[in-house]
Structure 1
Amino acid sequence: MWQWLVNVLRDNPAIAVFLSLAIGSSIGRVSYRGIGLGAVTGTLLTALVIGQLDITISNDVRAIFFLLFLFAIGYSVGPQFVQGVARNGLPQAAFTIIICALCLGTAWLSAKFAGYDAGFAAGLFAGANTISSALALSVDAIEQMGRPAEETQALVNAIPTAFAMTYIFGTIGATLIIALLGPKLLGINLIAACKAYEIRMGGHVGQGSGRSAWHDFIVRAYRVGPDSAFIGQTASQIEAGFHHQQLFIERVRRDDAIFDAVADTVVQSGDVIAIAGPHRHILRQFGHTLEEVEDPDLLDVPIEGVDVLLTNRAFDGKTLADLADQPSVRGLVLRRIRRGATGVDIPILPATELHRGDVLTVLGRPKDISAALTKFGRADRSTDETDVGFVGGAIVAGALIGTLVWHIGAVPITLSSSGGVLIAGIAAGWLRAVHPTFGRIPPAAGWLMNALGLNIFIAVVGLSSGPSFVAGAEQLGASLFLWGVVATSVPLILSLYIGRYLFRFDDAILLGCCAGARASTATLGMLTEQARSQVPALGFTVTCAVGNTLLTIGGIFIVLLMG
């Protein structure tokens, strides 16, 4: 039975690939307090074990899924990468460049002191910084070095060995150093720092989890008495008196008639008005001055929620307080802001700045939402259709550009097809964010391209490297782990002090910047949990987009430095 299974896997290597995915993903889901191996490492370890059966699989399979993955990762980080480098997050982008250079330099020096070759150095860099995507570029760079086939294969086989030995501490160490050790080293009370930041941004004490006066939407009915100060005022004038509290007059009952209120609707004595807005503000502003009445028909306000993709350049960099003064937002309540490749939730505070490419979840009457869409962007309505032609064309264009070679003296310089596809993905993602009329990739499809592309690439590398893994682990296992600790810890500890004393980031977002520069989503999760606030995410989105891209490209540079 065993020999039959071995023969089947050798004759049908595609089965071995999907077996690695199935077992590896199950292993990767096991976690403790949010920290686990992840699907990539689980797949790699499984493939290395199955690879002991001496399974041969074509590298063409690896190349195809590799390019698909690179395009997907570029597409996902494109808007925030361009946004950060070009304008809004320039200090955070500069900080990330420095930290990525430290990550690369520390891994290179560690490999030099340890006497490792380019393969082990590349695996050390990728594992210590938990940047799985760098593995693909390192393999590509080694294969383009023009060395003999046997030497090239040995270097490629060394990469997953070093990666597996250093990845575990790379994951755990990043979370421990930034989220747990960082506040103690810098003397930061994270909860207090985030509360203070929210107050400076126009929030209120005691909100927690990034909540603010823009949440908790309800509708109540009140009768306007003969002595009310609202008599003779228009709806917009009354609403302006409660600036930034997002209170709106939605409907009016006058005598036996019910009609929707508009900005110039004049309130009269005896009117029953339906007030929409945050629970606590409605009670505070109207609970003691107007008589609340039960009026089910009046309160039957048609409401819908829509995700709005912000594309209008005029609102890029504007704060929520700025938008509150726009007539087009009348009647709308903002419930959520998502930003960046991973859809990070941004705290909703009056001083929160919006970026093009943000997805805003708004609640309001259909006609109010339609009016807002004409000003701000497009409805990001769910659809299952992927623009496959756009994806294929962008990958072809990027790969062709990447194959071009420039010579500086006698030195050939090239992006390689993989680097070209990554840049094409960044450009495509940015174009989609600012001109969302083409190139749609639904989030689920993007996730599948990313996850399936990377995991199949990793499975093929692991299966091919399986026979040499045991020997490499026996030879360098302990030293690889220790040098991985160094390559993980040194840049992270330095990032804490660089962020505070050189860039002078606010304590509330400093640790989020450090987590983003290392593209550590797990660390951000622990930070927001400890802070009881989403404020650290304000330092994560730009740094994560830039850091993810630069660390991925670092897979090429570590090979060049060692070469």
Structure 2
Amino acid sequence: MSWLADTLRAYPEIAVFLALGIGYWVGGFSYKGFSLGAVTATLLAAVAIGQIPHLIISADVKHVFFLMFLFAVGYGVGPQFVRGIAKDGVPQALFTVVLNVLCLAAPIVAAKLAGYSVGSAAGLFAGSQTISASMGLATDAINRLGLPADQTKALLDAMPTAYAVSYIFGTVGSAVILATLGPLLLRIDLVAACKEYEATLGGAKEFGGPGQAWHRYELRAFRIPVDGQAVGKTVSQLEAIEPEGVRLFIERVRRGSNIQEATLDFVLKPDDVVAVSGPREQLVSLLGAKGAEVGNGGSQVVSTLGVKALEVDDPELLAVPAEGVDVFVTDKAVDGKTLQELGKLPAARGVFLRKIKRGPTETLIPVLPNTRLLRGDTVTIVGRTQDTTAAAKALGVLDRPSNVTDVAWVSLAITVGALVGAVVIKASGIPITLSTAGGALIAGIIFGWLRAIHPTFGRIPEPTVWFMNSVGLNMFIAVVGISAGPGFVSGLQQLGVSLFLWGIFATSVPLILGMLIAKYVFRFHPAILLGVCAGARTTTAALGMICDAAKSQIPGLGYTVTYAVGNTLLTIWGMVLVMIMT
């Protein structure tokens, strides 16, 4: 152990990676759904390592990684943040501001009543609201107070202590309050509310998915008899007589030994074999074996499409080049349109929507007829390669897998943001500045929004965004924990029990008041109300529990805009809290 301590003192960079390794490993364990998470586990590991005397790590390390982290945060929330402020997310954005003010006020009140220092107040805020990023801006603000070095260090060392103690209830408590207490307090039948909301969107329960044998979409072959009603009709005429809500498409046609693509003006003849694609339930109900007579080639049926057909097995015809691709939605023409409206566009022919992901947390949005598609969404579509390509062009751009990051763009964007944030304006002798960290966050929001509109530059693949978010923050946390190690134990002994209780107060009061305001002032629909609250408090764990309780993904519809606004404001609050407390 003596050799290890000497080695870490000589090579402090090893200590940082040791804290990260232990933090991610321990943080990956869970008990009955609860986990410390990588951030808290890394902090505790770093504090333990920091007990080694004279272990010093340059503060520049944490600043570099924190700028990277904040830019990634802004980049991820940019599209939803701008939309929430500028368009139809305004009520949700305004509610988020109200709840975030409560989230700032409660820790300040607790700190004032308990007589805590600015450092402890900042840590209490960060832990009780589970917003680790705020500690970075609070650190910058404390460093600019102009206090003697020993006082500044004491304040900074108090921050991680308060954070670690209050974080546990901040995570678990917020999830329990929203998912368990919330429906009881507001008298909401969450399951019924979500079913009602789904009905307004024209929805039904979704089945299937990865790992299941059942597949939503199929391609089947049918032979047109001599007396078939399809004889002499074009493909477009047949597809046009589908009942409302039905989406079946003729993809290919076999005529004799020749196979050709089915264009809209293609005229069908007797004995043609057509490949029809569509949702399984529609294929079964419209082309299935109701009233069937068994023939040599399969089941003879009468379709409501006006096709008296015989299902056959034709592997060559059914060998249609198809793919499932992700598309990044950027086109103004489709922004805010419902899926039902988009399904009528020419480019939607032969294409089926499998999944919609929204926001930096990739919240799954229900695929329902009246669900609205927004710029910045990522949609997964399936169909023939030529059809998905045409649909992608109408929606935005194909988001094909890539591991290449536009590093030049990212670096210059962070530079511009940090330079703007470094500007200091004095008002009545008081220095006012965004700080380099705040500048990097705002730069991320702006450039993330620009990327959503013009996705021809600034690509950051999803794994890279995760790395910048997770490792960037935890590098910062590791350095903070190691530096604060010597004073952590004494601080915990002095403030432990009372700090934990004040943490409960700071976590619970804003959430309870926020839920009541959301219901009685903003009057959000019960199905999305708790999702709105979870997003405004940026508690993803709570959203998971809410969706489980609701047995639906509908609450996620209220999460994305509020998360984007809340994540930004709560991070900035770290700096604001220091200004208010001093």
Q: Which residue of 2 aligns with 1:541?
A: 560
Report the Cα offset of residue 249 of structure 1: 1.2
The answer as to 2:348 corresponding to 1:329 is yes
Partner SS, residue 50 of structure 2: helix
Question: Percent identical across equivalent pairs?
Answer: 54
Report the Cα offset of residue 210 of structure 1: 11
In the TM superposition, 1:101-120 aligns within 5 A as 101-120=101-120
Q: Which residue of 2 aligns with 1:251?
A: 252
Q: Which residue of 1 aligns with 2:267?
A: 266
Q: Which residue of 2 aligns with 1:509?
A: 528
For residues 294-353 of structure 1, give each alpha carbon's deviation from its aligned partner in whole angstroms, at most 9, with x where no partner exists: 222221211111111111111111111110010011111111111110211111001111
The answer as to 2:491 corresponding to 1:472 is yes
Report the Cα offset of residue 233 of structure 1: 3.8
Q: Which residue of 2 aligns with 1:405?
A: 424
- Is this contact kept in 1: 2:131–2:570, CA < 8 A? yes
Deviates more, 1:260-269 or 1:19-28: 260-269
Report the Cα offset of residue 227 of structure 1: 5.3
Q: Which residue of 2 aligns with 1:444?
A: 463
Q: Which residue of 1 aligns with 2:298?
A: none
Q: Which residue of 1 aligns with 2:328?
A: 309
TM-score when normalising by structure 2: 0.93
| Separation (CA, whole Å) in 1 of partners of 2:168 and 2:462 | 28
- Is this contact kept in 1: 2:194–2:550, CA < 8 A? yes
For residues 66-114 of structure 1, give each alpha carbon's deviation from its aligned partner in whole angstroms, at most 9, with x where no partner exists: 1111111111111111111111311111111111111001111111111
Of 406, 425, 429, the match for 2:448: 429
- Is this contact kept in 2: 1:244–1:324, CA < 8 A? no
- Is this contact kept in 2: 1:210–1:533, CA < 8 A? no
Q: Which residue of 2 aligns with 1:70?
A: 70
The answer as to 2:377 corresponding to 1:376 is no
Report the Cα offset of residue 50 of structure 1: 1.1
| Separation (CA, whole Å) in 2 of partners of 1:237 and 1:513 | 45
For residues 202-221 of structure 1, give each alpha carbon's deviation from its aligned partner in whole angstroms, at most 9, with x where no partner exists: 112x447999xxx8011111
| Separation (CA, whole Å) in 2 of partners of 1:60 and 1:508 | 46
Q: Which residue of 1 aligns with 2:294?
A: none
For residues 364-387 of structure 1, give each alpha carbon's deviation from its aligned partner in whole angstroms, at most 9, with x where no partner exists: 111112222322211111111111
- Is this contact kept in 1: 2:356–2:364, CA < 8 A? yes
| Separation (CA, whole Å) in 2 of partners of 1:69 and 1:128 | 21
Q: Which residue of 2 aligns with 1:453?
A: 472
Q: In structure 1, what residue type is equivalent to 2:273?
A: V
Report the Cα offset of residue 470 of structure 1: 0.8
- Is this contact kept in 1: 2:207–2:216, CA < 8 A? no
Of 322, 346, 349, the match for 2:368: 349
Q: In structure 2, what residue type is equivalent to 1:488?
A: T
- Is this contact kept in 1: 2:338–2:370, CA < 8 A? yes
Q: Which residue of 1 aligns with 2:41?
A: 42
Q: Residues 509 and 229 of structure 1: is their aligned pair in 2 closer, same or farther, counting only changes over 3 Å?
A: farther
Q: In structure 1, what residue type is equivalent to 2:2?
A: Q
Of 373, 384, 396, the match for 2:415: 396
Report the Cα offset of residue 272 of structure 1: 2.2
| Separation (CA, whole Å) in 2 of partners of 1:267 and 1:101 | 66
In the alignment of these two chains, the number of paired residues is: 558
Q: In structure 1, what residue type is equivalent to 2:397?
A: R
Q: Residues 247 and 262 of structure 1: is their aligned pair in 2 closer, same or farther, counting only changes over 3 Å?
A: same
Q: In structure 1, what residue type is equivalent to 2:460?
A: I
| Separation (CA, whole Å) in 2 of partners of 1:358 and 1:293 | 39
Report the Cα offset of residue 485 of structure 1: 0.2
Q: In structure 1, what residue type is equivalent to 2:29?
A: V
| Separation (CA, whole Å) in 2 of partners of 1:104 and 1:317 | 33
| Separation (CA, whole Å) in 2 of partners of 1:268 and 1:284 | 24
The answer as to 2:186 corresponding to 1:190 is no
Partner SS, residue 53 of structure 1: coil
The answer as to 2:23 corresponding to 1:4 is no
Report the Cα offset of residue 409 of structure 1: 4.2
| Separation (CA, whole Å) in 1 of partners of 2:161 and 2:285 | 63
In the TM superposition, 1:142-291 aligns within 5 A as 142-204=142-204, 206-207=205-206, 216-225=216-225, 228-240=228-240, 241-287=242-288, 288=290, 289=302, 290-291=309-310
For residues 24-47 of structure 1, give each alpha carbon's deviation from its aligned partner in whole angstroms, at most 9, with x where no partner exists: 111111112432110000000111
- Is this contact kept in 1: 2:208–2:216, CA < 8 A? no
RMSD: 1.7
Q: Residues 300 and 138 of structure 1: is their aligned pair in 2 closer, same or farther, counting only changes over 3 Å?
A: same
Q: Residues 236 and 560 of structure 1: is their aligned pair in 2 closer, same or farther, counting only changes over 3 Å?
A: farther
Q: Residues 282 and 209 of structure 1: is their aligned pair in 2 closer, same or farther, counting only changes over 3 Å?
A: closer
Report the Cα offset of residue 504 of structure 1: 1.4
* Structure 1 unaligned regions, length at least 5: none
* Structure 2 unaligned regions, length at least 5: 291-301, 303-308
| Separation (CA, whole Å) in 2 of partners of 1:66 and 1:531 | 36
Partner SS, residue 337 of structure 2: coil
Deviates more, 1:504-513 or 1:118-127: 504-513
Q: Residues 362 and 388 of structure 1: is their aligned pair in 2 closer, same or farther, counting only changes over 3 Å?
A: same
| Separation (CA, whole Å) in 1 of partners of 2:565 and 2:48 | 34
Q: Residues 65 and 501 of structure 1: is their aligned pair in 2 closer, same or farther, counting only changes over 3 Å?
A: same
- Is this contact kept in 1: 2:357–2:365, CA < 8 A? yes
Deviates more, 1:244-253 or 1:146-155: 244-253
Q: Which residue of 2 aligns with 1:30?
A: 29
For residues 517-561 of structure 1, give each alpha carbon's deviation from its aligned partner in whole angstroms, at most 9, with x where no partner exists: 111111112222222221111111111111111111111111111
Report the Cα offset of residue 473 of structure 1: 0.5
- Is this contact kept in 2: 1:162–1:480, CA < 8 A? yes
Q: In structure 1, what residue type is equivalent to 2:280?
A: H
Q: In structure 2, what residue type is equivalent to 1:263?
A: L
Q: In structure 2, what residue type is equivalent to 1:245?
A: V
Deviates more, 1:337-346 or 1:255-264: 255-264
| Separation (CA, whole Å) in 1 of partners of 2:237 and 2:101 | 54
